[in-house]
Amino acid sequence: MLTLSGLLFLGGGGCTLASGVLFYLASRNQRLFTQRPGNRHCLLGAMAMGVLAASLLWSITSAATACFMVVLLLMVVCSVFPLFMAMLRPDRK
């Protein structure tokens, strides 16, 4: 049975994952789409999702812990997601 705190942890993690993907899409080196999506929209969406993730996690932990968790998860997503996308590219030798 999933409790409210478990749902808030999952929601915060999902928002952080979405924020990391949007940060990746805003970069010049993204290889997900042939044309780069709107830089401003991706950055605003990523910041909004990051703030939402921090506020969701802040409701069950302290503010410092919530910010640390969001930053740490963003670092993991921004490190692993480009590697994962490079491995899935069809033009890879």
pLDDT score, position 93: 58
Whose tokens are 């409701």? That residue is 59
- Surface-to-core class of residue 56, CB atoms within 10 Å of its CB (0-12 exposed, 13-18 middle, 19+ buried): buried
Summarize pLDDT for 38-68 with one digit per residue, the tens: 889 999 999 999 999 999 999 999 999 999 9
- Distance (Å, whole) CA 12 – CA 21: 14
Q: pLDDT class for 16, splitting at 50, 70, 90?
A: very high
36 DSSP assignment = P
